[in-house]
Structure 1
Amino acid sequence: MVSSNDKQNSSFSLQQEKIQRQREADSRDQHNVDRLDDMTLQILRKYRKRLEPSGYNSLPDLWPDLKDLMNLSIQLQPYQAIQRLLSLTNYFYEFCHGYRADTEKDEYKEYFDHLENMWVYLFRQEGLGMTDRIRALNVLRDGHQLAADEYGIPDALNRALEAGIIQEEQDEQQQDEQPEQQE
């Protein structure tokens, strides 16, 4: 027979294992965030040194590093990924202005398309807060306007905007249905 103490010890042991696994996962997440912070700082430093030999000479030089950073960022938890992608999107707009004379329209189109794909993917994830989504939509509207006015790309970020708006409408609909279900 299994005693009451054995059951309690087993339950306690399972709780300890669960806590340990969560700590390890948190540690891995923090390590990934730290690595992405380092990558971001490296890109920003090289961008600020763009007139020096050690900096990026053009947006096409900078793009592979930024693209890798975006790809890694969306692998974070959704609440972390959206914050990081918001920052990277704003940096991207700054980089576009900084290298305007050195970048062709087809290059801008490629970059905006990749950014759009990142946002579409992220909007499809569970666990995004309404406030973050609204902030993202505002940033994407700014980028859409920038791409249309400055770079002649009128359809830039349209799919991302649509994905964000659809998700926002679905969330609002779910919130409206919840009080009805509770009654």
Structure 2
Amino acid sequence: MTQTRVRLWTVNEYHRMFETGIITEDERVELINGQVIPMSAKNPPHAATTLCASDYFKRSLAEVALVRVQDPIQLSQYSEPEPDIAVVRIDARKYIDRHPAPNEIFLLIEVADTTLDTDRKQKAPLYAKAGIADYWILDVNQHQVYVFREPSLKGYNLEFILQEDATLSLIAFPEIEIHISQMFP
């Protein structure tokens, strides 16, 4: 039996695909583990929750962190996902010459209305392997938050779900209390 090897794309090759028009700017894709993966459409509840949560984080974390919305991060040579919200270290030049790397990321958030399974089974292991200490999924349908912490190469060792009436702090900023209800419209 002939074994087929999968050709993985690097971040640099992925960027060249955009530069040469192989992938157009209108295509919603991200690079995950060397594969170009289509992203789900943004339904109104997803868009509204992303806006609500990002505005809340921008107010709560002003002066201590930068909040990026649906912008790329570079986890490795083979992964450049676009999380819905990334809370990152402040960079005076706003990351003009590169995307934030794992050691600059305080928190990643995915907003899930139709992608909860993908965000839990594909994104969580990817983020854990990169060493992202704090990963949250905002479940639009149930108004709850899946919290993932203690990353390892095999995934997150700690996962719990908080309801809308709970509060939570980022690992990086334990003194700042986040009200889960404020992240949802």
Q: TM-score, normalised by structure 2?
A: 0.25
Which structure has greater strand proportion? 2
Q: TM-score, normalised by structure 1?
A: 0.26
